[in-house]
Amino acid sequence: MNLKNLIAIIAVFILAITYIVYNIKKKAKEETENEVEVDDKTYTLDMMVNFVKKRLDEITKVNLYDIGLSEEELKRRKNKKYELKKALKGCTYGDVNDKKYIKELIYDLLAKEYGVNETNISKSIPFDIPSLLTAQDKFDVIIHEYKKEFGYEALTQIIKKYNLAVLKYVAGESKPCYVITEQEISDIYDQENFNLSFADKLEIVVQRIYQRYKGYSSIDEIRDMNIDGVSGGVSGLPESFLSQVAQTDGDYLSQITEAKVPRACDSIWIFFQGKSIRLAFLSFGTESELKRVCQNIYKYNNPGQLSDTNGYKINEMKDGSRVVVVRPSMSETWAFFVRKFDTKRATLEQIVRFEGKEEAIELLKFLVKGARIIALTGEQGCGKTTMLMAMIENIYETMNLRITETAFELHLRKIYPTRNILSMRETETIAGQECLDVQKKTDGSVNIIGEVATDPVASWMIQSAQVASKFTLFTHHAKTFPNLVTALRNSMLRAGVFSDEKTAEEQVVQVLNFDIHLVKDFRGRRYIERITECIPVEEKNEYTFDYRKEKTLEGKIEKFMDNATVYFAKTTNRELYKYRNIMEFHDDAYVLVNPISEENIKGMRENMDDSDIGAFDAFLQRNWGIKPQKLSSAEVIEDLDQVPVGAEDIDDITKGNNSSNDSTQKTE
The better pLDDT of the pair 412, 127 is held by 127
Give me the amino acid identity at 206: V
Share of the chain above pLDDT 90, in %: 35
| Best CA proximity match to 273, nearest among 57, 549, 527 | 527
Same domain, 278 and 371: no
| Best CA proximity match to 388, nearest among 397, 378, 398, 98 | 378
| 200-216 per-position pLDDT tens digit | 999 999 999 999 999 99
Same domain, 314 and 421: no
In a domain, 195, yes or no: yes
| Best CA proximity match to 109, nearest among 32, 52, 162 | 52
501-511 and 481-494 helices, crossing angle to 10°: 120
80-85 mean pLDDT? 89
Q: Which residues lie closer than 8 Å to 15 by C-beta, 6 or more apart?
A: none
- Residue 304 near residue 310 (C-beta atoms within 8 A): yes
| pLDDT band of 335, cuts 50, 70, 90 | very high
String of DSSP letters for 232-287: ESSSSB-HHHHHHHHHH-HHHHHHHHTTSS-BGGG-EEEEETTEEEEETT---SSH
In a domain, 440, yes or no: yes
Same domain, 447 and 323: no
Give me the amino acid identity at 580: R
In a domain, 668, yes or no: no
Same domain, 449 and 532: yes
| 500-510 per-position pLDDT tens digit | 888 888 888 88
| 21-55 per-position pLDDT tens digit | 666 655 554 543 444 344 556 788 889 999 999 99
How far, in whole angstroms, is CA 81 from its chain's centroid?
35
In a domain, 56, yes or no: no
In a domain, 4, yes or no: yes
- Edge-to-edge strands of the sheet including 268-272? 167-168, 177-180, 275-279, 268-272, 229-232, 335-339, 322-326, 312-316
| Best CA proximity match to 261, nearest among 277, 249, 247 | 249
Q: What is the 3-state secondary structure (H, E, C) of 187-207?
A: HHHHHHCCCCCHHHHHHHHHH
- Residue 507 near residue 498 (C-beta atoms within 8 A): yes
User: Domain of 301: which CATH number?
Assistant: 3.30.450.90
Same domain, 311 and 426: no
String of DSSP letters for 537-566: ---------GGGG--SHHHHHHHHHHHHHH
In a domain, 651, yes or no: no
pLDDT computed for residue 526 by the predictor: 87
- Structural domain that includes position 327: 130-340
Strand partners, 535: 578
Same domain, 296 and 404: no
In a domain, 637, yes or no: no
* Overall residue count recorded for the chain in this entry: 668
The count of domains in the chain is 3
Instruction: Give the DSSP H/E element, type plus range, for residue 323.
Output: strand 322-326
* CA dist., res. 70 & res. 76, Å (int): 10
| pLDDT band of 68, cuts 50, 70, 90 | confident
Same domain, 295 and 164: yes
* CA dist., res. 335 & res. 324, Å (int): 8
Residue 198: pLDDT over 90? yes
Same domain, 395 and 440: yes
User: Domain of 475: which CATH number?
Assistant: 3.40.50.300
In a domain, 513, yes or no: yes
Average pLDDT, the chain: 82
Same domain, 251 and 357: no
Same domain, 199 and 289: yes
The predicted model scores a pTM of: 0.71
Same domain, 135 and 246: yes
Same domain, 307 and 370: no
pLDDT computed for residue 103 by the predictor: 94
Q: Exposure string (b/e) for 144-170, b if CB count within 10 Å is 16 or more? A: bbbbeebeeebbbebbeebebbeeeee
Distances (CA, A) of 463 to 440, 497, 508, 545: 10, 10, 10, 40
